[in-house]
Amino acid sequence: MKKPKFQAPTGMYDILAEDQKYFQRVYNVCENIANFYGFKKIETPILEETELFSKGIGLATDIVGKQMFTLRTKGGDYLTLRPELTAPVVRAYIEQGMGSLPQPVKLWYFGPCFRYEKPQLGRFRQFWQFGFEVFGEESPVIDAQIIRIFYNILRELKLTPHYFSTRKFTQASSTKSGGGLIVDINSIGDSQCRPYYKKLLVSYFRSRETVLCPDCRRRLRENPLRILDCKEEKCQPIKAQAPQMLDHLCEECHKHFREVLEFLDEIELPYHLNPYLVRGLDYYTKTVFEIFEDTEEGRKQGALVGGGRYDALVKLLGGKDTPAGGGAAGLERIIAVMKGKGIKFPEPAPAQVFLAQLGDLAKRKSLRLMEDFRKQKILVSESFGRDSLKAQLARANKIGIKYTLILGQKEALEGTIIIKDMASGRQETVKLEKVVKEMERKLKIKK
Ligand code: AMP
């Protein structure tokens, strides 16, 4: 088939009616849960100053290094289509003076993001995220609550949980693959303990540099922590022997992480300690987590949710020193899982009445009549484009309508209308201005 002249840009797509119901369902679940946990919705501009991301997410990250859609305005400013929403929400928190509100400030969002990635399963150039961010609270209870919120949303969307038996702080549990949601969790320390750990890691990998994949050799110079989440076969045995952050956390980070896990135990939320989890954004401190579907497809498409603490970010972006944490989920990936599970939606309510018309005057009167029905919340279907009565009745039959109203030329002139009971074929003529009331009676609609 010949390709149309214009197509959606690579990695971007139209969201048609059949997918809108998934988006709407996710939105409704997010909104309900946000209200329950006291989060207020925020919308930020699609474009932000480029420096917000280069500074916030980090110059050495893939997002900033390779994936930003950046443009120069006529005025000479550099703006970037947001690749994520945490940095914009932090910018808004600072700019709108939310630091002087009672803390914690809890915000949630739902909107499109843009990354120049190689399009593949679960990876698009325009994709949708929803996220939850909490500012001004250092207690680990917030870390646990954020994870709980995402977990609850996924459960509410009928994604199923996955249970583990091994839960040891210093040791990763091995998992059997059997489907279900997995919460991976790790701590990547803070400015106290991470620099030393980074040094250890660099010296470990440097002595093995020749056997690392080309990407990891680059990471060794630019962002050594990222070597830990390399998926290349040849790097796995080297990674397996690498020093682990959990063994080198400072006292404060160690205590914080232990408490996060205790809170998760308390709320019986199953998790998997993953010492290789580092996340692709520089702003994280202490807790990081990801949630994904433990199926081959789920692993291939990547995490459904990612997040963690970012205690240094508000200050880094020009605000006061403010502890914070949050996470973001990808709509497309979640919807792919929902589709895979064949999640059902209730059918929209069917029309109760069909309005058939013949001739111009009848058509005009029908348009008015539709509005009268709409005001009384009676669902009406029509086929104004068709002129033959036979075709209109056939259409009414096809959609299983109980009553068809027929407004022919004669009726339009006389100010009447015919009500046809589709099952019995019985017909009666009533005054046009009475028909809405009469249908309310027939359909037994109580006001
Ligand atoms: P991140 O901001 O990278 O932590 O991503 C958070 C979530 O957004 C991920 O877990 C994915 O579900 C989703 N996501 C990130 N990048 C993409 C992408 N290119 N296409 C689709 N979803 C994405």
**284, 332, 334: which to mutate for ligand 1, most atoms within 8 A of CB?**
332
Whole-number Å distance between alpha carbons of 3 and 18: 23
Convert the pLDDT of each residue in 391-412 to its tens digit: 999 999 998 999 999 999 999 9
Residue-averaged pLDDT of the chain:
91
| Nearest residue to 163 (alpha-carbon basis) of 150, 147, 153, 178 | 178
Atom of ligand 1 nearest to the CA of 122: 21
Strand, coil or helix: what is 397? helix
Does any ligand 1 atom lie closer than 6 A to the CB of residue 127? yes
User: pLDDT tens for residues 358-396?
Assistant: 999 999 999 999 999 999 999 999 988 877 899 999 999
**Reduced to 3 DSSP states, what percent helix, strand and coil does the chain have, rounded to the nearest 5?**
40, 20, 40
Q: What's the CA gap between 324 and 143, in Å, rounded? A: 9
Nearest ligand 1 atom, CA 307: 4
In one-letter notation, the amino acid at residue 143 is: D
Instruction: Return the minimum-mean-pLDDT range out of 60-64, 305-309, 350-354.
Output: 60-64
Distance in angstroms (rounded) separating the CA atoms of residues 224 and 198: 7
Three-class secondary structure assignment of 234-290 = HHHHHHHCCCCHHHHCCHHHHHHHHHHHHHHHHCCCCCEECCCCCCCCCCCEEEEEE
Q: Which two tokens stand for residue 359?
A: 């001739």
What's the gap in Å between 327 CA and the centre of ligand 1? 11
Kindly list the distances between the CA atom of residue 74 and the CA atoms of 45, 48, 77, in Å, as whole numbers in the listed order.
18, 15, 8
* Contacts of residue 373, Cβ cutoff 8 Å, sequence gap at least 6: 353, 355, 379, 380, 436, 439
Q: Any idea what DSSP says for residue 123?
A: B
- Read off the pLDDT of residues 88-118 as tens digits, 9 standing for 90 and up: 999 999 999 999 999 999 999 999 999 999 9
Average pLDDT in the 22-38 region? 97
Evaluate if residue 165 carries a pLDDT over 70.
no
State the pTM of this model.
Answer: 0.88
Token output for 177: 């693959």
Ligand 1 atom 13 nearest Cα: 330
Contact yes or no for 396/418 (Cβ under 8 A): no
Instruction: Say which residue, 166 or 373, is predicted with more confidence.
Output: 373
C-alpha 24/C-alpha 309 separation (Å) is 29
Distance, CA 433 to ligand 1 centroid (Å)?
56
Please identify, by atom number, the ligand 1 atom nearest to the C-alpha of residue 328.
Answer: 6
Nearest-CA residue for ligand 1 atom 18 is 123
304 lines ligand 1 (CB under 6 A): yes
Which tokens in the block code for residue 205? 């990998």
Helical residues (DSSP H) of 96-227, grouped into ranges = 140-156, 194-206, 214-222
What is the whole-number distance in angstroms between the Cα of residue 117 and the centre of ligand 1? 11
Averaged pLDDT for residues 239-267: 95
